[in-house]
């Protein structure tokens, strides 16, 4: 259906509860990522994880026609950059040196989720160009009318990052990781693509765990024991506590308590058990949608050599091969991922500054920043232990 622009009603709301779940999820269904589904975003708010008390002020934009939701984007007004994972301190420092305020900012994102997938949620029967333009215009009007200093969309789909440049945004490249399933019949088929040294090392790591009496299994959906959720909450806190003030402890206990009812169908756990113990000694929480798998959180009660690699990389890859997963995003950071077959790829955020001086600084330097990030991605891919031809 083609909806005339003047028949669209756009408004900002302050809770996911003001959007109807079935309508929102119908718009989110085509996305590869599960992290823009209504239940995930609503749980982040209701649990107090992404809430005004934590500096995340929901200002979700909804577009309706004839009472039907046809467009949406999750937005948050923020006075800090915590939990965004684009690490924009350099731009904040530039603003400070000029004596300019950097906040508040309007941020489009799934909070605390550095996984590619953001774009406008739009009814495919609507005129996409017209609806997209109205959404961008509403965001600009909101920012200008409320003295918002900048707007950003985090971990966007590449096409959306490119399209946003027509509306004053500029794309910023970031490094991420991705494993691809090359139609492997099993984990050994994947290992066969690696060079001899790395293949031997991975087999040694997995064998060492087995010899230490560690058994690893992956369970998903309704097969996940209820006990795993409070254990994961404890491990989440324990893991982040290791990093002190640099930890990323953003999720509340209430978030983990609400996960089984809200999102169990999208989750899987890699669990490690020691002989004679009923509860797992370590867990890794995964999420999946269609043929994509995402690594989210992990933790262990004991420091066991190679356990992190097994729970966060090898076991999910093996499970993914067996369950039709074609891509696995293991999460951010760590050159050790490259040495285990994860390719470095580009992810993007899109930024706009409403002060002309900050806009000029960003546009002047972002090409160089993006070029340096591309070099870093290329350097990491040189570490890939794949077999070399010739």
Query: Span 346-351, mean pLDDT?
Result: 98
Percent of the chain at pLDDT exceeding 70 = 98
Could you tell me the pLDDT band of residue 217, with boundaries at 50, 70 and 90? very high
The whole-number pLDDT of residue 6 equals 56
Do 191 and 165 fall into the same domain? no
Quick count: other Cβ atoms within 10 Å of Cβ 22?
A: 9
- What pTM, to 2 d.p., does this model score? 0.95
Residue 321 lies in a domain: yes
> 42: domain CATH number?
3.40.630.30
Do 154 and 186 fall into the same domain? no
Could you tell me the pLDDT band of residue 390, with boundaries at 50, 70 and 90? very low
pLDDT (tens digit per residue) in 41-57 = 999 999 999 999 999 99
**Strands across the sheet containing 105-108:** 57-58, 75-78, 105-108, 150-156, 343-353, 170-180, 327-329, 292-300, 282-289, 267-274, 214-220
The whole-number pLDDT of residue 323 equals 97
Residue 390 lies in a domain: no
Residues 6+ apart with CB under 8 A from 157: 116, 117, 118, 119
Could you tell me the pLDDT band of residue 387, with boundaries at 50, 70 and 90? confident
Measured CA to CA, the distance from residue 214 to residue 26 in angstroms comes to 42
Do 287 and 369 fall into the same domain? no
Instruction: Report CA dihedral (16, 22, 24, 28) to the nearest 10 degrees.
Output: 130
Do 307 and 376 fall into the same domain? no
Minimal CA–CA distance to 301: which of 231, 209, 210, 212?
231
The whole-number pLDDT of residue 243 equals 82
With beta carbons less than 8 A apart as the criterion, state whether 75 and 50 touch. Answer: no
**Cα–Cα distance list, 115 to 58, 85, 155, 370 (Å):** 20, 10, 6, 19
Do 118 and 220 fall into the same domain? no
The whole-number pLDDT of residue 4 equals 54
Residue 216 lies in a domain: yes
Minimal CA–CA distance to 175: which of 352, 351, 337?
337
Residue 146 lies in a domain: yes
Do 21 and 96 fall into the same domain? yes
Residue 123 lies in a domain: yes
Do 25 and 171 fall into the same domain? yes
Domain region containing 109: 5-176+346-381
Whether 248 has a pLDDT exceeding 90, the answer reads no
Quick count: other Cβ atoms within 10 Å of Cβ 382?
A: 8
**Checking DSSP bridges between strand 105-108 and strand 150-156, what pairing results, if any?**
parallel
Total number of domains constituting the chain:
2
Residue 339 lies in a domain: no
The whole-number pLDDT of residue 2 equals 55
pLDDT (tens digit per residue) in 144-188 = 999 999 999 999 999 999 999 999 999 999 999 999 999 999 999
Residue 341 lies in a domain: no
pLDDT (tens digit per residue) in 86-145 = 999 999 999 999 999 999 999 999 999 999 999 999 999 999 999 999 999 999 999 999
Do 51 and 143 fall into the same domain? yes
The whole-number pLDDT of residue 333 equals 82
Mean pLDDT of the chain: 95
Percent of the chain at pLDDT exceeding 90 = 93
Sign of torsion over alpha carbons 303, 304, 309, 314: negative
Do 19 and 102 fall into the same domain? yes
Measured CA to CA, the distance from residue 382 to residue 318 in angstroms comes to 24
Minimal CA–CA distance to 263: which of 239, 296, 235?
296
Do 20 and 169 fall into the same domain? yes
Measured CA to CA, the distance from residue 20 to residue 18 in angstroms comes to 7
pLDDT (tens digit per residue) in 250-298 = 999 999 999 999 999 999 999 999 988 899 999 999 999 999 999 999 9
Do 149 and 190 fall into the same domain? no
Long-range contacts of 227-230 (CB under 8 A, 24+ apart): 227/279, 228/269, 228/271, 228/280, 228/283, 229/256, 229/257, 229/259, 229/260, 230/256, 230/257
With beta carbons less than 8 A apart as the criterion, state whether 140 and 168 touch. Answer: yes
Measured CA to CA, the distance from residue 369 to residue 177 in angstroms comes to 19
Query: Span 245-252, mean pLDDT?
Result: 87
Whether 3 has a pLDDT exceeding 70, the answer reads no
pLDDT (tens digit per residue) in 10-25 = 999 999 999 999 999 9
Residues 6+ apart with CB under 8 A from 379: none
The whole-number pLDDT of residue 103 equals 98
Measured CA to CA, the distance from residue 293 to residue 266 in angstroms comes to 10
**Intra-chain end-to-end CA distance of the chain, in Å:** 55
Residue 195 lies in a domain: yes
Do 90 and 226 fall into the same domain? no
């Amino acid at each position: 259906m083609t909806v005339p622009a003047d028949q669209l009603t756009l408004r900002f709301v302050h809770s996911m509860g003001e959007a109807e779940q079935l309508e929102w999820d119908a718009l989110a269904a085509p996305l590869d990522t599960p992290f823009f589904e209504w239940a995930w975003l609503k749980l982040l708010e209701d649990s107090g994880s992404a809430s005004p008390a934590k500096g995340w002020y929901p200002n979700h934009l909804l577009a309706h026609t004839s009472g039907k939701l046809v467009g949406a984007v999750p937005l948050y007004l923020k006075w800090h950059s915590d939990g965004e994972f684009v690490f924009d301190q350099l731009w904040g420092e530039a603003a400070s040196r000029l004596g300019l305020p950097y906040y508040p900012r309007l941020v489009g994102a799934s909070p605390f989720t550095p996984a590619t997938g953001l774009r406008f949620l739009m009814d495919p029967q609507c005129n996409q160009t017209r609806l997209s333009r109205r959404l961008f215009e509403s965001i600009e009007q909101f920012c200008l009318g409320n003295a918002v200093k900048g707007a950003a969309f985090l971990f966007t789909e590449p096409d959306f990052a490119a399209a946003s440049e027509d509306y004053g945004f500029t794309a910023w490249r970031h490094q991420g990781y991705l494993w691809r399933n090359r139609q492997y019949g099993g984990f050994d088929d994947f290992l066969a693509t690696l060079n001899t040294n790395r293949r031997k090392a991975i087999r040694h790591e997995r064998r060492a765990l087995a010899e230490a009496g560690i058994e690893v299994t992956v369970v998903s959906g309704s097969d996940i024991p209820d006990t795993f959720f409070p254990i994961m909450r404890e491990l989440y806190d324990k893991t982040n506590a290791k990093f002190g003030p640099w930890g990323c402890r953003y999720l509340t206990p209430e978030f983990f308590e609400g996960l089984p009812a809200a999102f169990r169908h999208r989750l899987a756990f890699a669990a490690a058990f020691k002989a004679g113990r009923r509860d797992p000694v370590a867990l890794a929480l995964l999420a999946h949608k269609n043929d994509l798998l995402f690594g989210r959180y992990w933790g262990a009660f004991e420091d066991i050599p190679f356990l992190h690699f097994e729970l966060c990389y090898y076991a999910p890859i093996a499970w993914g091969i067996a369950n039709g997963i074609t891509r696995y995003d293991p999460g951010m950071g760590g050159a050790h991922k490259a040495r285990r077959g994860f390719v470095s790829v580009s992810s993007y955020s899109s930024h706009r500054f409403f002060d002309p001086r900050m806009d000029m600084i960003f546009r002047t330097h972002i090409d160089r920043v993006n070029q340096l990030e591309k070099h870093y991605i290329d350097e990491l891919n040189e570490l890939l232990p794949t077999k070399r031809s010739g």
